[in-house]
Amino acid sequence: MADAPRSFQEIILRLMTYWASKGCAVLQPYDMEVGAGTFHPATTLRSLGSRPWAAAYVQPSRRPTDGRYGENPNRLQHYYQYQVLIKPSPPDLQALYLGSLEAIGIDLGLHDIRFVEDDWESPTLGAWGLGWEVWCDGMEVSQFTYFQQVGGHDCRPVSGELTYGLERLAMYVLGIDHVMEMPFNDPASPIPLKYGGIFRQTEEEYSRHNFDAANTEALLRHFEDAEAECEKLLAFPAEDANSGKRIIMAHPAYDQCIKASHLFNLLDARGVISVTERQAYIGRVRALAKKCADAFVQTEAGGWVAEAEA
Amino acid sequence: MPELLIELFSEEIPARMQGAAREALKKLVTDGLVEAGLTYGHAEAFSTPRRLTLVLTDLTAESPTLQEERKGPSVSAPEKAIEGFLRATGLRLDQLEKRADKKGEVWFALIEKPGRKAPEIIAEVLDRTIRNFPWPKSMRWGNGTLKWVRPLHSILCILSSEAGTEVVPLEVEGIAAGDTTAGHRFMAPARFSVTNFEDYAAKLKAAKVVLDPAERAEIIWHDASQLAFAQGLELVEDKGLLAEVAGLVECPVALMGAIAEDFLHLPPEVLQTSMKEHQKFFSVKNPKTGRIEGFVTVANRETADHGATILKGNQKVLSARLSDARFFWEHDLRVVKTEGLEGMGAGLANVTFHNKLGSQAARIARIEALAREIAPHVGAQPDLAAEAARVVKSDLRSAMVGEFPELQGLMGSYYARAAGLPEPVAAACKDHYSPLGPSDAVPSEPVSVAVALADKIDTLTGFWAIDEKPTGSKDPFALRRAALGVIRLVLENGMRVGMRMQFFIPMLGHLISIKTQGKGLLARSAIETIKSLGFPREASLAQKSIEAAAVHMSDELTNIAINEGMTKCDDLLSFFHDRLKVFLKDEGIRHDVIDAVLAMPGNDDLTLVVKRAEALSAFLKTEDGTNLLQGFKRANNILTQAEAKDGVEYSYGADPKFAESDAERALFAALDAAEAALAPAMQAEAFAEAMAEMAKLRSPIDAFFTAVQINAENQIVRRNRLNLLSRIRQICLSVADLTKLEG
């Protein structure tokens, strides 16, 4: 077994190496603000349709309501998730997952790893799956889900999704009590950096922004714009006039859906959405996600095959 | 005889589903086998997080051969008919038998349905069981279409006897049955083969798996208690948690830790809930201080360091959790200190209670008004009841209840005390949800009672107003529970109120606010008017009071009040009567006795109804009671028949001067005496006394029937006797509607 990692980034690197060795394409984060790794099109869209897929990536994630000005030992409005998606889910996915824990230095002979029922549902994505939260000595270190439906579509085949909350997992492995104290690079580096050295200030800035400063009128407008844009893009005919090709703009439309979702999260953090409105907003984002899923399964990556080939 | 062993090995089965799954496996398999003609001795099912196991002893090796005889066409029938018969039976002509029949010779087919071997039947039954298993939630995985609770990995299915062990040939979606299984995921992961149940259980034990959930629960409880005991502490019992934890581990190892000093000041319920909900920890109490000072966690493995790493990890997680809880607690206390408990609930204006019934804040305002009305009936101070009503829901906005919804009410009472509110208000925060079930304690503190009633009545009238009544097994808003709650609050506190009036005002409020979409403030003066006129028990008088009030109301309001309001209140009242019947049945009072009482005036005064029903029930258990009932029935039957035949009602003064026999005269005297005694007893609601008076009628009535023939030749005498029977009926019916009684 590998020796203990020394920093946050080493844990990420080990996960990268491990999943690469298991045949996953190691992707980069999606370049938009999202609430969780699941929103990356490499998960949401690629879990749809019949084509096999295996990808792993880090996804910076934002949850504006979780901002605590950098003071809370483990709550952040910006954090990292490590995400693995394999379609179809391999029969030994649990064993593969446990291997990844060993790879980051968790001695399975000394710790108590448990799979505790936790069904996953994303009302904004119109998605659900069954699985567990994985406990290591009573602490939730990952979410393990077999996707059953995404964007209202049945997943056939089923994807297996693993989500690691990186900060929490790393703090546990490194024995750190406050996230800001966690070494980001190797403590023996010429310029050792701690998590707080990189993110404490931004946590403060964004907490203030999210709770007090974000312009709610503009956010509401942007939400409406993103919604309209998403629908407009999907309304284009499949035939592209320039290239003469069949091009359905599922991804650009989905970008607008992601945008709407994040804007909703910001509005929620600003406390301007009432409980009843909340459901309505979630429903609007879900409607977009569903339309994007409908569009994606009409594309090649989504398993669509031209009739001549079929 | 052979033993059948089945094991369905999968990824982790949710703990809460394992009990029902064991039962389902047992039932589906045994039912299927028996239906196919096999019999077995004993069946037992087991589960661990990764396996469902069933063992059947003394299974028959095959199903019995069945003989069937089928009569065919006549020997001389056309060839086509005979061919058809051969096709239907699958036989050749030379296999048929000729038999003499009334009409000559006829073909007979003797079909033998051979018995089938057990393995063939088992394979079929198990395949069907797996495909139709009643998991509350199931899923697909990989490329497959099979559904199971989590991916199914292997099937063990063997028949064993002295002759040896055979694998039942069976394949479900690519999973072939075999004779192997695996041990503990981490401690003994290798697969091994087994020969029978005994071998299976023993090898599993060696492979660090305790198969029987009851045994695991016992180990956990025993070990955890020992750990606590050794330190002079005691384990807090929690059967639900024990069953759940037993479903989370194959190899239970109890580990005990202490709660850090910084958290010991948190309310014990908070500690307990946080540990249980998030971590599945048992609480450990110090019997000397009564405080929760430790915890027991149950790991799923043994380790070289005897659980030290695991315990350290769990302790750390607990500290983080309790830091959160402490943060919530301190945050909430700060809010309460600066803004008061009412201030804490300010945000409830933005929380919808039900889209047709407005926000939580609107609901609280209604409950406050209602609590004020109810207070005098239960001996509570109206202002105090109103104050309590304003704050009892505030804790729904507290950080703690946001995290632990099950602590609602309880946190409210802590925060009410912190806010310096009077003790009855604090108690009402916790107790106004009660009673939650038929065995839950009923509050008796007047303020709690007033608010509890107001809360439930507002909910019931509200959902009745919008026609969201429970139907069949569907009762999403727990209205049956709310109605039973009201009934128990009223009865156990001996409250004397007409429920119709208690329903009518809030019902009207709901209806008007729905019709006018919340702009019904003007209606308030109308409601006030109705209230000031009172709302008598009798519907006709009630209608008059509404009509009187109508002078001040718009036509629309009058309509709502009279038509919808009254109808809905009557409907709600009959819902209450149904709940009351169920409740009293459990107390041993017959259905028909309650019906007899409910037919009397004042049936919306629940305490009165029950008092009357109890007296009548007790009376009917005496010999006098049953005999009097017979006498009454006889009188009533004769009278009803005569009235139907003659087309008149005999209710007009029987005269003693036409009495011919002593028995008849004695009855006159007895009825006079009864009438004189009954009226004041009934007036005073001394029902037992009234029944006793009525019982005195038994022998005069019996004697009368023996001595006298009602249908006398002399029409005057006959009519007089019928009128006398009518007096019996009248007197008896003044106590309860005895015609409703059976027997």
Chain B interface includes A112 (CB < 8 A): yes
Q: Cβ atoms within 10 A of the Cβ of B65, count? A: 11
Write down which residue in A188, A209, A230 finishes a domain: A209
**Chain A nearest CA to B487, separation (Å):** 33
Instruction: Indicate whether A221 belongs to any domain.
Output: yes
**Measured between alpha carbons, how far is B24 from B130 in angstroms, rounded to an integer?**
11
Half-sphere exposure of B2 (CA within 13 A, CB side): 23
Q: Do the beta carbons of residue A100 and residue A19 sit within 8 Å?
A: yes
Two tokens, residue B611:
């008092």
Q: Which DSSP letter does residue B151 get? A: -
Parse chain B into domains and list their residue ranges: 3-62+117-206, 68-113, 213-302, 353-397+407-604, 610-740
Contact A112 B139 (CB under 8 A): no
**Chain B nearest CA to A233, separation (Å):** 32
Domain, as residue range, for A235: 215-296
**Residue A1: pLDDT band with limits 50, 70, 90:** very low
Q: Do the beta carbons of residue B736 and residue B616 sit within 8 Å?
A: yes
Write down which residue in A186, A209, A232 finishes a domain: A209
- Neighbouring residues of B543: CB distance < 8 A, sequence distance ≥ 6: B562, B566
A120 with A53, same domain: the answer is: yes
- CA-nearest residue to A176 within chain B is B316
Q: Name the residue type at position B354.
A: H
pLDDT of residue A301 exceeding 50: yes
**Chain A nearest CA to B347, separation (Å):** 10
Interface test with A, best of B9, B10, B12 (most A CBs within 10 A): B12
Q: Report the pLDDT value the prediction gives residue B557, as an integer from 0 to 100.
A: 73
**Measured between alpha carbons, how far is B33 from B168 in angstroms, rounded to an integer?**
14
A177 with A94, same domain: the answer is: yes
Q: Which residues of A touch B313 (CB under 8 A)?
A: 111-112, 136-139, 172
Chain B interface includes A187 (CB < 8 A): no
Interface test with B, best of A87, A115, A141 (most B CBs within 10 A): A115
**Measured between alpha carbons, how far is B442 from B591 in angstroms, rounded to an integer?**
24
pLDDT in tens, A190-220: 999 999 999 999 999 999 998 888 898 999 9
A253 with A161, same domain: the answer is: no
pLDDT in tens, B35-72: 999 999 999 999 999 999 999 999 999 999 988 888 88
- CA-nearest residue to A89 within chain B is B142
Coil, strand or helix at B6: strand
Q: Which residues of A touch B314 (CB under 8 A)?
A: 137-139
Contact B143 A157 (CB under 8 A): yes
Write down which residue in A193, A209, A225 finishes a domain: A209
Two tokens, residue A85:
């998606």
Sign of CA dihedral B7, B13, B19, B21: negative
Q: Cβ atoms within 10 A of the Cβ of B699, count? A: 17
Q: Which of residues 161-180 of A touch B (CB under 8 A)?
A: 172, 177
Q: Name the residue type at position B661.
A: S
Q: Cβ atoms within 10 A of the Cβ of A10, count? A: 20
**Residue A159: pLDDT band with limits 50, 70, 90:** very high
Q: Report the pLDDT value the prediction gives residue B523, as an integer from 0 to 100.
A: 54
Q: State how many domains chain A has.
A: 2
Half-sphere exposure of B111 (CA within 13 A, CB side): 15
A195 with A229, same domain: the answer is: no
pLDDT in tens, B204-238: 999 999 999 999 999 999 999 999 999 999 999 99
A94 with A109, same domain: the answer is: yes
Q: Which residues of A touch B281 (CB under 8 A)?
A: 138
Contact B300 A112 (CB under 8 A): yes
Coil, strand or helix at B671: helix
- State the maximum Cα–Cα separation within chain B, in Å, rounded to a whole number: 108
Instruction: Indicate whether A146 belongs to any domain.
Output: yes
Instruction: Indicate whether A164 belongs to any domain.
Output: yes
Instruction: Indicate whether A279 belongs to any domain.
Output: yes
- Neighbouring residues of B726: CB distance < 8 A, sequence distance ≥ 6: B639, B650, B651, B652, B654
**Chain B nearest CA to A135, separation (Å):** 10
If DSSP states are collapsed to H, E and C, what string results for B461-475?
Answer: HHHHHCCCCCECCEC
Strands B152-161, B171-172: pairing is unpaired
Chain B interface includes A298 (CB < 8 A): no
Contact A138 B314 (CB under 8 A): yes
- CA-nearest residue to B250 within chain A is A114
Chain B interface includes A115 (CB < 8 A): yes
Instruction: Indicate whether A302 belongs to any domain.
Output: no
Contact B140 A146 (CB under 8 A): yes
The closest CB to that of B12, out of A111, A132, A148, belongs to A132
Q: Do the beta carbons of residue A86 and residue A47 sit within 8 Å?
A: no
Q: Do the beta carbons of residue B192 and residue B181 sit within 8 Å?
A: yes
Contact B151 A112 (CB under 8 A): no
**Measured between alpha carbons, how far is B125 from B130 in angstroms, rounded to an integer?**
9
Contact B351 A275 (CB under 8 A): yes
A33 with A148, same domain: the answer is: yes
**Measured between alpha carbons, how far is A133 from A148 in angstroms, rounded to an integer?**
17
- CA-nearest residue to A173 within chain B is B313
Chain B interface includes A69 (CB < 8 A): no
A222 with A283, same domain: the answer is: yes
Q: Report the pLDDT value the prediction gives residue B67, as an integer from 0 to 100.
A: 84
**Measured between alpha carbons, how far is B727 from B732 in angstroms, rounded to an integer?**
8
Q: Report the pLDDT value the prediction gives residue B518, as an integer from 0 to 100.
A: 54
**Chain B nearest CA to A32, separation (Å):** 30
Q: Report the pLDDT value the prediction gives residue B572, as an integer from 0 to 100.
A: 95
Q: Which residues of A touch B142 (CB under 8 A)?
A: 88-91, 157-158
Q: Which residues of B touch A88 (CB under 8 A)?
A: 141-143
- CA-nearest residue to A168 within chain B is B317
Instruction: Indicate whether A309 belongs to any domain.
Output: no
CATH superfamily of B610-740: Isoleucyl-tRNA Synthetase; Domain 1 (1.10.730.10)
Q: Cβ atoms within 10 A of the Cβ of B562, count? A: 15
**Measured between alpha carbons, how far is B230 from B237 in angstroms, rounded to an integer?**
17
Taking 70 as the pLDDT cut, the residues of chain B under it are 516-543, 545-546, 549-553, 743
A112 with A201, same domain: the answer is: yes
Q: Report the pLDDT value the prediction gives residue B505, as an integer from 0 to 100.
A: 83
Q: Cβ atoms within 10 A of the Cβ of B191, count? A: 12
A262 with A203, same domain: the answer is: no
A201 with A220, same domain: the answer is: no
**Measured between alpha carbons, how far is B532 from B351 in angstroms, rounded to an integer?**
34
Instruction: Indicate whether A2 belongs to any domain.
Output: no
Please count the residue pairs, one from chain A and one from chain B, whose beta carbons lie less than 8 angstroms apart. Answer: 102
When the pLDDT of each residue in chain A is averaged and rounded to a whole number, the result is: 93
A71 with A184, same domain: the answer is: yes
Q: Name the residue type at position A145.
A: T
Chain B interface includes A206 (CB < 8 A): no
**Measured between alpha carbons, how far is A253 from A293 in angstroms, rounded to an integer?**
10
Global ipTM: 0.93
| C-alpha R_g of chain B | 37
Q: Name the residue type at position A244.
A: G
Sign of CA dihedral A293, A295, A298, A301: negative
Q: Do the beta carbons of residue B178 and residue B156 sit within 8 Å?
A: yes
Contact A274 B317 (CB under 8 A): no
CATH of the domain at A115: 3.30.930.10
Q: Classify each residue of A210-249 as buried b or exposed e, where b means 16 or more C-beta atoms within 10 Å of its C-beta.
A: bbeebeeeebbebbeebbebbeebbeeeeeeeeeeeeebb
A149 with A271, same domain: the answer is: no
Contact A111 B310 (CB under 8 A): yes
Contact A138 B317 (CB under 8 A): yes
Q: Which residues of B touch A73 (CB under 8 A)?
A: 320, 323
**Residue A237: pLDDT band with limits 50, 70, 90:** very high
